[in-house]
Amino acid sequence: MKYTFVVIFFLLSFSCSNSQKSTETPPVLLEREELIDLIVDIQLLESHYHTLYKRPEIYANALDSASFYIFKKHNTTKEIYKSNILYWTKQPDTLYHIYEAALDTVNNRINLK
């Protein structure tokens, strides 16, 4: 599961490209810990929907709607999240550590239950 989580997010990150230049900082750059917390909450939400419905095409719209509340909780938007992920894909070593920290947080929450 650890490697699946990292691979999925790297693939999603690369698929969320736009015309932003590689050295351009997004208008709102989230702090590392803020981004980690946001990734954790999004992953937990997606895992919940996947456990219930198994097939992404069934729950994609519901997940998109529910993720709005995750972004609201973190005082950000989907666009800011995407621009931050795109920015960090240009620095793969840092992004790897961000996802590793997110995965550790998810695993710690699972082990607490």
Give the tens place of pLDDT for each residue, 20-77: 455 689 999 999 999 999 999 999 999 999 999 999 999 999 999 999 999 999 999 9
Tokens 């994609």 — which residue? 60
Q: Is the pLDDT of residue 12 over 90?
A: no
Band (112; pLDDT cuts 50, 70, 90): confident
Of 95, 108, 5, give the one whose Cα is nearest residue 50. Answer: 5
**Quick check: 95 and 13 in contact, CB under 8 A?**
yes
Q: Residue 4 has which token pair?
A: 């699946």
**Quick check: 48 and 66 in contact, CB under 8 A?**
no
Q: Is the pLDDT of residue 19 over 50?
A: no
CB atoms within 10 A of CB 69: 11
**Quick check: 30 and 38 in contact, CB under 8 A?**
yes
